[in-house]
Amino acid sequence: RWVLGRTPPGRVLLMERLDGVEVGVGAYFDGRRFLRPACIDFEHKRFFPGEMGEMTTEMGTLAGFEGAERLFGATLDRVAPSLARAGHVGYVNLNMIVDERGPWPLEFTCRFGDPGFAVLAPLQRDGWGDLLGRMLDGGGHERFAAMPGWSVGIVLTVPPFPKEDAASPPEDDLPLFFREPPGAEEMARHHHPCDVRLDGGRLLARRRTGRAMVVTGTGATVQEAQAGARARARNVIAPDLRWRADIGDRFLLRDGARLEELGWLPAPSRPAAAAAAGPGLRAV
């Protein structure tokens, strides 16, 4: 007998392996329809550069509000009537594998993604208050203002990440510093502290999860967005700080071109091929 979330005893389920591009599309739903534009995103969950090592909650994301329309129309937008009947209001993301036979849905995320919210934030011109108001308006708006180009988000971590240690005492938390302290606007736009705390004016990263901060960079090209995110990551100092310096390289080296060849992305969406991947996992 089948039990939800379990495999029947004595049976093994085999799934076909799909050799394609892992990609996501997401949009904000106002109870009646999706607000436009939709976003396209490329997550990086492996701990080490080059998509090696164990799976993590996430090490970084490449995202943008351009070039998603065809993939969005063929997949996520088709569930809009069901979401409307359910009265859903909020963000919805669909992760999938795309190959020569088309998109293969993997999972829905009906909440703000992490670090997806941080990656999209600098591209949403009028801020979260405006966007949340448009969703709650229940059909009074069709679009919101989004910046062109790309955003890259990098997750800065300390040990024990990607594991967790709920019993880690506060005295083991690690101090976070900036080589050049960012201004208030820069901090709000491109630095998103995660599991941190203030102690006597000092910013400390909690050892219990090791997720210290998400930093972002934006630009007209993926390379420009990468450069901004990497510069901000290098500006943060903490003992045993670790982060991936190759977020977005997979898109530049192969995924973007393959999606173009399959007709899911317009050719102008992908800049010229990137140079070799960066130095990978950074330790400071």
Burial class (CB in 10 A: 0-12, 13-18, 19+), 81: exposed
CA proximity to 55, closest of 160, 208, 162 = 162
pLDDT of residue 8: 63
pLDDT of residue 66: 94
In the chain, pLDDT over 70 holds for what percent of residues? 91
Average pLDDT of 197-210? 94
pLDDT of residue 72: 97
CA proximity to 195, closest of 178, 212, 214 = 212
Predicted confidence band of residue 2 (pLDDT cuts 50, 70, 90): very low
Average pLDDT of 64-73? 96
pLDDT of residue 6: 59
pLDDT of residue 1: 40
Q: Who contacts 152 (Cβ-Cβ below 8 Å, separation ≥6)?
A: 60, 61, 62, 119, 216, 217, 218, 222, 225, 226, 228, 229, 247, 248
Are 49 and 246 in contact by the 8 Å Cβ rule? The answer is: yes
Residue scoring higher pLDDT (110 or 271): 110
* Rounded (to 5) percent helix, strand, coil in the chain: 25, 35, 40
> For 132-183, what is each residue's pLDDT tens digit?
999 998 777 899 999 999 999 999 999 999 999 999 999 999 999 999 999 9
Burial class (CB in 10 A: 0-12, 13-18, 19+), 192: buried
Three-class secondary structure of residue 167 per DSSP: coil
Evaluate the CA torsion angle 106, 111, 114, 118 in order and state its sign.
positive
Residue scoring higher pLDDT (96 or 7): 96
pLDDT of residue 282: 47
Predicted confidence band of residue 274 (pLDDT cuts 50, 70, 90): very low
Q: Flag whether the pTM goes above 0.85.
A: yes
Q: How far is CA 173 from the centre of its chain?
A: 26
pLDDT above 80: residue 44: yes
Average pLDDT of 20-40? 96
Average pLDDT of 95-114? 92
Residue scoring higher pLDDT (206 or 282): 206
pLDDT of residue 11: 79
Q: Who contacts 4 (Cβ-Cβ below 8 Å, separation ≥6)?
A: none
pLDDT of residue 242: 96
Evaluate the CA torsion angle 210, 195, 238, 198 in order and state its sign.
negative
Our CA dihedral for 157, 163, 168, 170, rounded to 10 degrees, sits at 20
Residue 182 is given by DSSP the state P
> How far apart (Å, rounded) are the C-alpha atoms in residues 187 and 193?
10
Residue 252 is given by DSSP the state I
pLDDT above 60: residue 284: no
Mean pLDDT, rounded, of the chain: 90
pLDDT of residue 98: 96
